[in-house]
Amino acid sequence: MARIHGKKGDVMLDPTGGVTVVSLASCNAYELNTAKDLVDVTCFQDTNKQSVMGLPSYDGSISGFWDSATTPEQLFAVVFGDVPAMLHLIPNTLEPTFLFKGLANIDASLDVSATGAVSWSSKWVAAGPWVMEPAIVP
């Protein structure tokens, strides 16, 4: 496989936190961050700053457009609930076995303008262990 376009990306979730994920409708972008904490361990006589790495954060964002047939049930019901959702982030549905997944706490905001489409955006952060599939042993 070669470099790919984001057109075939997908966001799938199970609001119960289970394994039955379905595609989030009217979604057009997501972001996944795995920034690690860096702890400064620079000491006397070191010739440059040094650090050690902590764990990856696993957080990000999702965005799309409001559709009253799907957005309230699929997104806002999860936001207003108390159960972390199972989230699958798929870079390319033509290779659906390559994905990142895990439990996530999700929030959402709505953007309504008199001159544009009604859109929503959401931030998520890991609520349990996340994995990349297929697993790559470092």
Partner 1 sequence: MSVAANVAAVDAALFAVLAGDAALMALVPDGIWRDVAPAGSTRAVTIQLQTHEDIEGFRAPVYETFQYRIVAHVLEKSGGDADAAAYRIHTLLQDTVLAPIAGYTHMATLRVEPIRTQDPDSGDNDLRWQLAGADYEITVSPD
Enumerate binding residues for partner 1 (CB under 8 A).
Answer: 7-11, 23, 26-28, 64-65, 93, 115, 117
Contacts of residue 37, defined as CB under 8 A and 6 or more positions apart, other chains included, come to 53, 54, 55, 57
> CB of residue 108 vs partner 1: minimum separation in angstroms?
17
Cα dihedral sign, 39-42-43-44: negative
Q: Which CB, 25 or 83, lies closer to partner 1?
A: 25
Instruction: List the helix and strand counts (H, then E) for the chain.
Output: 2, 11
> CB of residue 47 vs partner 1: minimum separation in angstroms?
49
Q: Which CB, 29 or 38, lies closer to partner 1?
A: 29
Element housing 15 (H / E): none
Q: Which CB, 35 or 117, lies closer to partner 1?
A: 117
> CB of residue 23 vs partner 1: minimum separation in angstroms?
7
